[in-house]
Structure 1
Amino acid sequence: MKTARTVVALCVAIGMIAGCSVSSEEVATPSPQPGSTPSTTAKRVDPNTPAATQLRWFIDASGRFPLSDNDVREHFGPDIIRELGGSTDAVNARLSPFARLTLERLAPSPAPTAQVGIVATPDGKRLQADATVGSDGRMTGLVFVPMPAEPTSWNGVDERLRALAPEVSFTVDRIDDNRCIPVHSLNGDTQRPLGSAFKLYVLGALGDAVASKKISWDDTVTVRTDWKSLPSGVLQDRPAGTTVTYRRLADLMISISDNTATDHLIHSLGRDAVTAMLSRFGNSDPARTTPFLTTRELFVLKMSRYPQLAQRYLAADAAQRSAMLPELDGASLSGLPPWTTPRDVTDIEWFGSPADICRALTGLATMSTTPSGGPIAHALTINDGGILLDPERYTTLAFKGGSEPGVLTLNYLIRAHDGVEYVVSAMLSDPTKAFAEATVVPQALSVIRGALTLAGR
């Protein structure tokens, strides 16, 4: 689906199916003390991570092109050198359009091997720069994407969103006493496929289990082969029998959208407990997401014997679908054909509207302020989803996105500098065509930034 070399920033931010190569240690940031609130755990930028160091080096070096042989060997890995042409002259030719860049700012990153920043060209254009590095510290990817202009009116917001997908739901809500007050809505009550944003409900079930003292954050779960899923994530590579804390599973599930971590939580907490969070958090149609699938079960439905198995599932009623789950759980995930086009995105998925997601995020924010809720806030703030907001104006309190072919969702809880909090949820779906995420994601993020500006006026 996606390669870690070129789109690792999108891969880490969104996740569902991806070739993420983020090691488990890379997001092993310390969790806050119990009772910490999202405002005290907001992510700060470390300019000295391996990826940030390389990105800053390149921007500085862009002012003295051409690069020397030594520059290329020291800072670029062999794979990217080969893709850029294989020689120093070829590398310089490919990178010459990016001469004399200036760095505006770096964004928080969930992993030291990936860094996003905003750079400016000599003629005033703004670019999003994504750098990734390998284990030796040399760059494995360097991508520059033009930053689209932000819409300056609500009509502009709606027009831009409708241009991105045939099916769109979007809201900006102001949070007032844990209530979602709509500021602007485009089909905001219409449910769409959530992709990995469904993991917010799993996090809620985990927080509820800790609050009720059924488990503690530092209790452990044993990795099981039959609970392993496909990437995104890293836990699928851990040997069976390894133990992982609930705290760590939460961080992995939210920050890098680790599917195997998610499935271990669903099985450990119980499917009924996770399903119950749909109603607890005010999902407007819980039956549509019942039975509550694991990521492994969804992969089997959409990749194993497709479409025959999916058609059987769709023809079944709720009880019959539940009876099929052991069959899905027993199916192999090895040797499956690629999945690159939309498959039953309006029927086999997890579902919610932007209004539903607002209620879920505010529910989690409330949980995070309780004595046992600090790790919830921590998990939600590790990754800001590449939103690239001005840190002088905004703090990202929570992010969770989701994607599969034909599905893209971006969901944020943001605090403005004046203390007002907003939830912004953008849900795009296309039953016939996969999204070109390298293009669509920057466009959607620019719409979200513009909507926040409009909401604050």
Structure 2
Amino acid sequence: MRALGALVLFALALLPLAARAQVAPTYQARAQQLVMLLATDGAERDFFSTLFLDAVPVDQWRKLTADLRRQYGKPLSLGSVRQNGPTAGQVEVRYERATVGFTLVVASQPPGRVVGLQVVGAKQADDSLIKVINDIDALPGRSAFAIARLTDSGPQWIASREPDRQMAIGSSFKLYVLAELARAVEAGERRWSDVIPLARKSFSGRLAAYPVNAPMTHHSLAAAMIAESDNSAADTLLLALGRGKVDALLLRTGHASTDAALPLLTTAEAFALKMPANGDLRRRYEAASPDQRRALLRENAARLDAKAVDVGSVAETPVYIDSLEWFASPKDEVALLDWLRRHGGDALPIMAVNPGIAPADAARWRYLGYKGGSEPGVMAMNFLAQASDGNWYAVSGSWNNPTTRLDEPHFVALMTRALNLLAR
């Protein structure tokens, strides 16, 4: 269960600087050929270098181009081509319903095959927030969405659809852990530089390979938890800060349905409860009150650690996402983002490490902080944004389907469209 990073669809394998300095006479031709390759399968091995295809196999490339055609229609023609040098630049391709921008890097040696390609944004013709919201509403399953301008007198709602609907939010719960750490620092109870042991290892993420009790600062754990969605960092911080105090952040920020959301589970607990061997405990947990759930977690701590999780059993299909999850509505998330805007301090730069969307789209904002969450059947994306005029905004969207995996790139594209329209 990893946070969704920026929408980088294609690998970038750059050549050494000395090689890039040579003249590449095929750049314009390669840009023109890109249009044909986006429209029709079959010439990938003549177009891309071996380095590129090692990172992005042909089948993966074809799946991604099919997704672009599904979203934007057929590729029609080459638009603007802006070179930064003889081998690198930006190209635009006109589709039926949008203009899609790419960074394109070619090898300097003949035949000048493409070594780097990345989608950097899409501008849809006659797009609007209403169209985006309707597209989100049409997603199979359940969805919810909200945009607000953040003011000193509270959020001013700009657009929404089912903003009060409680949704499974995956790793977005880590924003509550970050907020409690920021509160404790602001209150003088903790410091970002304080060192604590990596005491709660979970089942995925970079820190899962670290030694048990490795010394970590609050800041380094928070950065791993938010920018990388590291589960071990999140579980360690949640329990070190105190589950009760993190739970209290939901009350502090005005969460509308704390009975369903509390207590906040660690990632290891949540997925251990989903395991068939813990079916009896799961059923008791689902039927319990928040205080009874807390008691069950204390009494069954040995059964609910990462060693109990068979990742393969939850990696492909949704498992109990309506009952064993972290829950919040878009309005709850907007309120949390607004609290972080006012009290986050050093939490805000941490949120900006991974902006959640392509760099060219993120660059439209003076500041863009992000945390999302995804697992089979669950996706959520939450943005705290400051425009060039100084105004602050919060954008939150969630999509759940308890019967099948989600088309995650499609949801990222919808949220990117909303942010780009708001940035205008």
TM bucket by the smaller chain? 0.7 to 0.9
Which structure 2 residues correspond to residues 62-73 of structure 1 after superposition, within 5 A?
62-63=30-31, 72=49
Show CA shifts across 1:163-201 (max 9, x none). Answer: 224312111101111611111121112221121111111
2:319 paired with 1:343: yes
Aligned counterpart, 1:256: 228
Residue 426 of structure 1 aligns to which amino acid in structure 2? G
Distance 1:155 1:314 in 2: 37
Bigger shift: residues 405-414 or 156-165: 156-165
Bigger shift: residues 268-277 or 350-359: 350-359
Q: 1:381 Cα deviation (Å)?
A: 1.0
Aligned counterpart, 2:264: 292
Which structure 2 residues correspond to residues 46-445 of structure 1 after superposition, within 5 A?
51=12, 53=14, 62-63=30-31, 72=49, 75-76=51-52, 78=54, 80=56, 119-121=91-93, 126-127=99-100, 147=122, 149=124, 152-177=127-152, 179-224=154-199, 227-231=200-204, 233-303=205-275, 305=277, 307-325=279-297, 326-330=301-305, 332-333=307-308, 335-339=310-314, 340-368=316-344, 373=345, 375-386=346-357, 390=361, 393-445=364-416
Q: 1:262 Cα deviation (Å)?
A: 0.5
Q: In the superposition, relative to structure 1, how do residues 303 and 444 fare at CA in structure 2: closer, same or farther (>3 Å)?
A: farther
Q: In the superposition, relative to structure 1, how do residues 13 and 271 fare at CA in structure 2: closer, same or farther (>3 Å)?
A: farther
| Aligned partner of residue 313 in structure 2, secondary structure | coil
Q: In the superposition, relative to structure 1, how do residues 150 and 170 fare at CA in structure 2: closer, same or farther (>3 Å)?
A: farther
Distance 2:131 2:138 in 1: 11
- Partner residue of 1:12 out of 5, 14, 26: 5
Distance 1:105 1:357 in 2: 41
Contact residue 13 and residue 386 of structure 1 kept, 8 A? yes
Contact residue 4 and residue 372 of structure 2 kept, 8 A? no
| Aligned partner of residue 348 in structure 2, secondary structure | helix
Q: 1:63 Cα deviation (Å)?
A: 4.9
Q: In the superposition, relative to structure 1, how do residues 129 and 199 fare at CA in structure 2: closer, same or farther (>3 Å)?
A: farther
Distance 1:196 1:140 in 2: 34
| Aligned partner of residue 337 in structure 1, secondary structure | helix
Q: In the superposition, relative to structure 1, how do residues 172 and 64 fare at CA in structure 2: closer, same or farther (>3 Å)?
A: closer
| Aligned partner of residue 332 in structure 1, secondary structure | helix
TM-score normalised by length of structure 2: 0.74
Q: 1:202 Cα deviation (Å)?
A: 0.4
Q: 1:268 Cα deviation (Å)?
A: 0.8
Q: In the superposition, relative to structure 1, how do residues 389 and 130 fare at CA in structure 2: closer, same or farther (>3 Å)?
A: closer
User: Number of paired residues?
Assistant: 373
Q: In the superposition, relative to structure 1, how do residues 423 and 123 fare at CA in structure 2: closer, same or farther (>3 Å)?
A: closer
- % identity of equivalent residues: 31
Contact residue 273 and residue 304 of structure 2 kept, 8 A? no
| Aligned partner of residue 124 in structure 2, secondary structure | coil
Residue 147 of structure 2 aligns to which amino acid in structure 1? V
Contact residue 169 and residue 186 of structure 1 kept, 8 A? yes
Highest CA radius of gyration, 1 or 2? 2
| Aligned partner of residue 413 in structure 1, secondary structure | strand
Contact residue 148 and residue 158 of structure 2 kept, 8 A? yes
Q: 1:151 Cα deviation (Å)?
A: 6.5
Show CA shifts across 1:354-403 (max 9, x none). Answer: 111111111111113xxxx2x21111111110155656742333211111
Residue 203 of structure 2 aligns to which amino acid in structure 1? L
| Aligned partner of residue 412 in structure 1, secondary structure | strand
Distance 1:103 1:222 in 2: 51
| Aligned partner of residue 394 in structure 1, secondary structure | coil
Runs of 5+ unmatched residues, structure 2: 34-42, 62-74, 105-113
Show CA shifts across 1:85-109 (max 9, x none). Answer: 9xxxxxxxxxxx9x98977799xxx
| Aligned partner of residue 322 in structure 2, secondary structure | coil
Distance 2:391 2:15 in 1: 36
| Aligned partner of residue 168 in structure 1, secondary structure | strand
| Aligned partner of residue 304 in structure 2, secondary structure | helix
RMSD between aligned alpha carbons?
4.1
Residue 182 of structure 1 aligns to which amino acid in structure 2? W
Q: Between the two structures, name the one with larger relative contact order (CA 8 Å, sep ≥ 6).
A: 1
TM-score normalised by length of structure 1: 0.69
